[in-house]
Every structure is written in structure tokens, then in C-alpha cells.
Structure 1
Amino acid sequence: MLSKYDVVGLQEVDGGSFRSSRVNQVEYLAAKAGFPHHVQQLNRNLGRIAQHSNGLLSRLVPSQVEEHRLPGAMPGRGAIHARFGEGPDALHIFVAHLALSHRGRVRQLNYLSEIIQPLRHVVVMGDLNCTPDQLHAHERFSASLPLHPVKPLLSYPSWQPRHALDHILLSQSLEAAEVRVLDHLFSDHLPIAVDLPLPEACLAAIRSSV
């Protein structure tokens, strides 16, 4: 399934512990699906028991990758920021896993807003643990990244989806051709996919850095 996509964001993957039979799931999925580039962000390290991580798989060559530790009362939440290309038309992809608590999410969305605000072509994807309405209510984040697409996609729980907690959010410069939930029961959340034609200026910025 993953091999059909150019970029994949992962949450709650394990870095190689008892929880995953000592398999680094980011490395395993990258190898099995033929992704030449991958990033694992270890956010909650419980040693041999569990290594909770975010992951990014990509067929594109990232120009820069930054790992952000998101603020919160309990450590263990993070975001990967991958830049593809150089200059103002570079593509910026964030893979994030936000807190369960409202207060924690507000702090984390404030943090991400500061990073996103000056950027032009932005994709934020991940388990944001809140509904589209709750994202809209966060004025600072909505101002930094006007929410688009706004179509609610029910993804949780995977066996009987009733809540839209997982999102792919786009800056105004990007227009999704199609957004859909995939019917694959790999976890308690269903995956979400988007077909995203990129503006020519963005494509040129990516090509110039390869």
C-alpha cells in the first residue's frame, strides 16, 4: 500500500523494542516499500520496552530535516519538519502527533504556528487528537495555516470510525485533487491519503535542489 505514495507520515511507530519484536518499524517500512529516504523521531524512550516515534518516508530528497520536541505537561510529543527545495517556494512537510489534553494541544499548536507562519507551501499531517472544529477554534494556528481541505474525514476508531482526529492540512497555496480515508486496519486509526499537485514554482524549487 505505501509504495503508491511519494511521502508518508507515521505516528506511534516503534524504534525497535519489545513492543515491536525489536524491529525498527520506520526502517522496516522504508525498506519494504522502497523509500530511499526515511526519518525516525524518537519521542518517548522506554528503553527495551517501547520506543514511541514519529516517522517520515520519502521518495523526494529532503533539503533539511528538523525534529521538534513539542511543549506539554508530559514529554513525549514531537513533530518532524522536512523541507524539500530551497528558497521561498520550497515545500515544507510537518508530521506531528499532538497531546490528548486541550491545554497541551493549545501549547503545541502555538509552537507550530510560530514555525509555519513565515512559510508559503506547507503540509501538516498526523494524529492531531482533535476535530476540525477544534482546530478552527484555535485562532493563532488557523491564521498561520488557513485550514484546507476542511472536509472532515472520520478515521477513529478504525473498526467503526466516528471521529475526525487525523488530518492533512494545506496552506492556501496548495490545492488537493483528492482526499480520502483508506480502509486498512493496521492500527486503531485509519490512514488518510491526499493527491496533491504542486505549483510549478514549488516543483522548480524541489528540482533545483536535487
Structure 2
Amino acid sequence: MNTRRLRLLSANIQAGSSTRRYSDYATRSWSHVLPAGNKRGSLDTIAQLAGEHDIVGLNESDPGSLRSGFTNQTHYLAQRAGFEYWSHQPNRRVGSVASSANGLLSKLEPREVVDHPLPGRISGRGVLIAHYGDDDDGLTVAVAHLSLGATSRASQLAFIAELLHDHPHAVLMGDFNCSADRPEMQALFRNTRLQPPSSALPTFPSWRPQRAIDHILLGDGLGFAGARAVPAALSDHLALSLELDVPHSALRSE
């Protein structure tokens, strides 16, 4: 075979916090700033799920603030789930007690990992990009967490489109905070070789999924082999698990 099948996971882990209903955002708001609750148990559950995959993109992974007990959650998940390679991109800080990051876990060795700040009305968003293989057609995996506002999302997606433009083996995954039929998403599809999802998989809220706002988008040089939405412990988002076929040439290292 000229392709290799890989399993990818995209998960907004809400820093290991628990949200089971809308009222929890108010009644359990303390869990987003204090190192209380069973965050370590949630991370262990997420690690079990992550370990079934080859490459994992994380959103809202605490890089080591008060609320996580100063644990770098991306590093913790890499160790618990058996990933040799990991990287993270701290972006949003909430006062002095909480911080958030994009994270990458990989069982394949990336050639390089780079991060870029994203534009937006409020600073603090970013995209983390891992490159595999030795040439410009190698597999490229980007992890992003986009803004709530449509105007900021549009500028962020335009920026990402420049980075991934004309790349047949690109993957863009994360929490987009919007569905794939939004105008800013259509602009992304027009300006890259990324393809719209074959079907909408609702991921939010996790206890009654109604909105498809988490996505794993594939370039047209990659083969889609199925996707499903799965619980990410007690996060308010479901995770997305996807299988894809990657040409061996896009992974080859000399």
C-alpha cells in the first residue's frame, strides 16, 4: 500500500474541569480558577482516549497555573498516554490563576513544530503547527482554538489560510466556535485545499450535542476513513476522532 492509516483526535479538554449542564458554568465556576475537583481523574480518562490515537490536538489544556495545581496538562497527558513527542502553545491567561494552551501529542516524530499568534480583537489566540516529512508536500497538522466573534474568526481563518494555502496534505483541527457553513469557513475552503466535513458531527454541549463547532479538516491529498464524536471525560465539548490515509511520501524522512 502507498498510504498509512493514522488516527487523529481533537479535544477541547476544558482544563480537566467538569460541566454537565449549563448551570454548572455558574455553580461550578470555581473549578475554572481553583485546583479543586477531580481534574487529575479527568486527565487520566482523557489519556486513555488519547492513547488510542497517533496524533492528538488539544484545546484549553492548562500549561501550569493555579487551577491545574501547576501541572502542565499537555505534558501530563503525553506521559500517561505514551506519546514520545509533545508540544504546547500557551495563549490565553485569566488573571494570575488560570491559563490555557493549544497542545499537540504525537507518536510520530515531527520535523518541526512552530506556533503563530492569531489576529483578533482580543489577543491571546494562536495556531500550533507540526510538520512531518522532509519536503513541502509533507503532512502538516495545525491545531487552533478560534474566537467567539465572527469578525475575529474571519481574520484568524484568513491568516491560517495563508499558512496552509495550496497544501494537499494539511490537517486543521480544533475548536472553531462555529459550524462549517459559516461565511468565514467558506472563505477558508476557497483559499486552501482543505475540504468541508463530509457530515456535521455535533460536539457542543457535550451533554446534549446540538452544535458542530469542533472540526478536523483534511486537505484533498488525504483519504478520509471515518469520524465519530466521543466524550472527553467531563468536558463541555465532545472530542472528534478521525481516521485518515496519508501517502507514505508525506511522512517519509531521509
- Partners of 2:111 and 2:185 lie apart in 1 by 33
| Residue in 2 that maps onto 1:96 | 144
Q: Which residue of 1 aligns with 2:87?
A: 39
Which amino acid is 2:193 matched to? L
Q: Does 1:200 align with 2:245?
A: no
Task: Specify the alignment match of 2:218 in structure 1.
Answer: 170
Any unmatched runs of 5+ in structure 1? none
Higher mean C-alpha displacement, 141-150 vs 79-88: 141-150
Larger Cα Rg: Structure 1 or Structure 2? 2
Once the two structures are superposed, residues 144-164 of structure 1 have per-residue CA deviations (whole angstroms, 9 ceiling, x without a partner) of 134243310100000110000
- Residue 134 of structure 1 aligns to which amino acid in structure 2? R
Compare 76-85 and 131-140 and name the one that shifted more: 131-140
User: Contact 1:149 / 1:176 at 8 angstroms: preserved in 2?
Assistant: no
Deviations 1:146-202 (A, max 9, x none): 424331010000011000000000011112111110134431100001011112322
Shift of residue 53, structure 1, vs aligned partner: 0.5
The aligned amino acid for 1:30 is A
Evaluate the alpha carbon distance shift between residue 140 and residue 27 of structure 1 in structure 2; reply closer, same or farther with a 3 A threshold.
closer
Q: CA RMSD in A?
A: 1.6
4+ residue segments displaced more than 6 Å: none
Provide the residue aligned with 2:124 in structure 1. 76
Q: Which residue of 1 aligns with 2:107?
A: 59
Query: Which residue, out of 24, 30, 41, partners 2:78?
Result: 30
Give distance in 2, aligned partners of 1:8 and 1:98.
Answer: 17
CA contact (8 A) 1:7 1:59 kept: yes
Report what 1:179 is aligned to.
227
Q: Are 2:160 and 1:112 aligned?
A: yes
For structure 2, the 5+ residue unaligned runs are 1-48
TM-score, with length taken from structure 1: 0.92
Of the three residues 161, 164, 179, the one matched with 2:209 is 161
Distance 1:153 1:106, change over 3 A: same
Cα pair 2:154 2:184 within 8 Å, conserved:
no
Cα distance in 1 for partners of 2:94, 2:236 equals: 21
Contact 1:100 1:129 in 2 (8 A): yes
Aligned residues: 206
Q: 2:168–2:221: 8 Å Cα contact kept in structure 1?
A: yes
Distance 1:154-1:119 versus aligned 2 partners, 3 A rule: same
The answer to whether the 8 Å contact 1:17/1:47 transfers is no
Q: State the partner residue of 1:122.
A: 170
> Which structure is richer in relative contact order (CA contacts within 8 A, separation 6 or more)?
2
- CA offset at residue 120 of structure 1? 2.3
